């Protein structure tokens, strides 16, 4: 991704992480890409980019994590 493309994408994303929408306080956002195809996806903060890497882009793991958090975020009687 060229610097020009990066800056255009950054502007499209309102200068924030595509996933969590956090602003990165003058730190560069990561250029996320598909490791199988090499195709650039979006710009992400380091936390979101790392999270995708830790789960190896597997949506089944992410869905299980959502289920887990939902189950354990309910107020207990």
Burial class (CB in 10 A: 0-12, 13-18, 19+), 39: exposed
Above 60 in pLDDT, residue 72?
Answer: yes
Residue 3 confidence (pLDDT):
93
The answer to whether 64 and 58 are in contact (CB under 8 A) is no
Residue 51 vs residues 8, 39, 44, 74, 75: alpha-carbon distances, Å: 24, 18, 10, 23, 26
44 membership: H or E segment, kind and range: strand 40-44
Q: Is the pLDDT of residue 75 over 70?
A: no
Query: What confidence tens digit (pLDDT) does each residue in 12-63 have?
Result: 999 999 999 998 766 789 999 998 899 999 999 999 999 999 999 999 999 9
Task: List the structure tokens of 53.
Answer: 């890497």
Looking at residue 39, its pLDDT comes to: 94
């Amino acid at each position: 991704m060229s610097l020009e493309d990066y800056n255009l994408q950054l502007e499209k994303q309102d200068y924030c992480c595509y996933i969590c929408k956090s602003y990165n306080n003058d730190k560069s956002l990561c250029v996320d890409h598909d490791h199988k195809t090499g195709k650039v996806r979006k710009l992400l903060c380091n936390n979101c980019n790392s999270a995708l890497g830790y789960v190896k882009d597997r949506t089944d793991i992410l869905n299980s994590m959502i289920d887990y958090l939902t189950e354990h975020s309910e107020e207990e009687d």
